[in-house]
Amino acid sequence: MKDTFDAIIIGGGHNGQILSGYLTKAGLETVVLERRMEPGGGLCTEEVTIPGFYHNVHAFFLRWIPDLPFFKDLELGRFGIEMKMPEVQTVAPFRDGRCLVMYKDVEKTIQNIAYFSKKDAATYRDLLKRFQLMNEKIITPEGYSPPLPAAEKKALLEKSELGREYLAISKKTPIELAKEFFETEQMRSMIIFVVTTRMYLANEPGLGYHVPAAMTGGHRGTMCLGGSHYLAHGLSKVIESHGGRVWEVSPVRAIIIEGGKAKGVILDDGRRIYARKCVASSADVPQTFLELVGEDKLPKDVVEKAKKFKFSKLVLFSAHLALHEPLRYKSASFNPDINIGFNYNVGLESMADFEAHLREIDEGVPPKKPGMQCAVPTLHDPTQAPTGKHTAFLWQFAPYNLKNGGPEAWDKVKNDYMEVCLERWRQYAPNCNSKNIIAKYAFSPLDVERKLINMRGGDHCVGAATFDQMLENRPCAGLKPYRTPIEGLYLCGSGSHPFGNCTGAPGYNAASAICEDLKIKKWWNTHNLGELWSKLR
């Protein structure tokens, strides 16, 4: 078996594979080493209920994917990847029988908002126009570039009206902005829903800029036809078509460091794989520094920062269902489109509901009155279930560390808590019942951690989105973006800027850093934030 490559990438999640895709197209011979039997990390689709029903156990709502740089640059469409953007995007049923429906079509969305408040409808139209420009010129380019130092960023953005608005918004919490912008609880809760379901804390100061990002992305949610794992397999095909390799069942035990340089890796079975040019890790930050490298090979300050790296308290409990028929909502009498929605907010009807959830999670208690993100994927892709049948799932915010019994207690309570969540769903969709449910599967935050070891504490985004761990401080202050104190060792996972979710940005940005350091010409176009922001008006 071959034992030497130009670049070794640890972890075959989407970021590791995206990095490999860029490097192989740049002419490097790469190998991706994946611990599990299937690459993709959170991009996994499995038969967890009964055979023939395919469930997207982690990632499903793949926002903006067709518009993202990696999808275009790596030409994933040529490798059989098809993304679908449903017409009815995010919906929220209410106990009073009404529902709020957000469409791909912005005008239809505004008309629906006007049922609740003409003022909120007008505000939404105005904000969306400004926020689309803000997202295009500031937020997205920043995500697909190394972050600038805060002082330099502030100086550039203060020169333009758009930049000043961004800076003002960024200082606030998403909850503060939702209350400031909108008068109805329906719109406030919808805005906070689309922020928090991207795993950002709605009460965290300094994260207000996620409101513009979430609002603009709220009309462009996509899913991968065939299941989320198809996207992962498409990335593998890209790599292999350019001469790279993806090795499954190849867990890494250690990174080989010689003379202060990364020289390769040791696999669990003792095999050594060597790197001519670099090693990149998409593993979480503590795992990379403290376990794979070792404390004795790192500066003390980096060791301390790795030990203090925080994982999110806001994690997910989920349940996956095999169904005879899709769920039917009481609110369909108000707007029948709710029955064909893509992304459902079920049970979070007010700011008070969100605030109660956050308090309970801080206390280590699964919310007693669930408020869930739900979907019926087969409404939009019938191939994910047997003919005429359906799949559905719910995601419920929950604590990893339970007040009564700690994380291990999830094994005892997860099935009971699934029933609590299903009863809540049934209040809105009466056929979420035993007659319709063929099989069901509970998946706790502890199960998440066991399945994907990067997601410590069940954290899907591999590192908390707190102000002190975002932008130039991600993964920690003082590290040059995507580099490490070890020469030739890079970071390319969700613990790096900008964050988790399926954006591909950490892998994309790491590719730029590696090519710059190795003096390899980048074959793709990149942003220069200084130039871009200096031209804003």
491 inside domain: yes
What pLDDT is attached to residue 206?
84
Question: H/E/C letters for each residue in 385-432?
Answer: CCCCCEEEEEEEEECCCCCCCCHHHHHHHHHHHHHHHHHHHHHHCCCC
3-state secondary structure of 258: strand
Q: Which token pair is 95?
A: 């106990």
H or E element at residue 437 = strand 437-443
pLDDT in tens, 348-394: 999 999 999 989 999 999 999 999 999 999 999 999 999 999 999 99
What pLDDT is attached to residue 1?
77
pLDDT in tens, 439-488: 999 999 999 999 999 999 999 999 998 889 999 999 999 999 999 999 99
H or E element at residue 217 = helix 210-217
H or E element at residue 213 = helix 210-217
Contact 55, 49 (CB under 8 A): yes
Neighbour count for residue 198 (Cβ, 10 Å): 19
Q: What is the CATH number of the domain that holds 21?
A: 3.50.50.60
What pLDDT is attached to residue 249?
98
3-state secondary structure of 143: helix
DSSP annotation string for 487-535 = BTEEE-STTSSS-SSTT-HHHHHHHHHHHHHTTPPP-S----HHHHHHT
Using CA atoms, how far apart are residues 1 and 174, in angstroms rounded to an integer?
52
DSSP annotation string for 86-124 = -SEEEEEE-TTS-EEEEESSHHHHHHHHHTT-HHHHHHH
pTM: 0.97
Give how many domains the chain has, as a whole number.
Answer: 1
Residue 32 lies in domain? 4-43+70-80+225-309+463-534
Single-letter code of the amino acid located at 15: N
143 inside domain: no
392 inside domain: no
**Strand locations in 30-184 (E):** 30-33, 45-46, 55-56, 83-84, 88-93, 99-103
118 inside domain: no
The residue among 22, 31, 75 whose CA lies nearest residue 508 is: 22
The residue among 277, 274, 244 whose CA lies nearest residue 4 is: 274
3-state secondary structure of 38: coil
The residue among 22, 1, 34, 17 whose CA lies nearest residue 514 is: 22
Q: At residue 535, what are phi and psi to the nearest 5 degrees?
A: -95, 0
Contact 445, 398 (CB under 8 A): yes
76 inside domain: yes
235 inside domain: yes
What pLDDT is attached to residue 273?
99
Q: Residues 47-82, buried b or exposed e (16+ Cβ, 10 A)?
A: ebbeeebbbbbbbbbbbbbbebbbbebbebeebebb
- In the predicted model, residues of the chain with pLDDT beneath 70 are 199
What pLDDT is attached to residue 205?
84
What pLDDT is attached to residue 268?
98
What pLDDT is attached to residue 112?
97
Q: Which token pair is 279?
A: 């090693």
Using CA atoms, how far apart are residues 7 and 254, in angstroms rounded to an integer?
16
Cα-to-chain-centroid distance, residue 457: 16
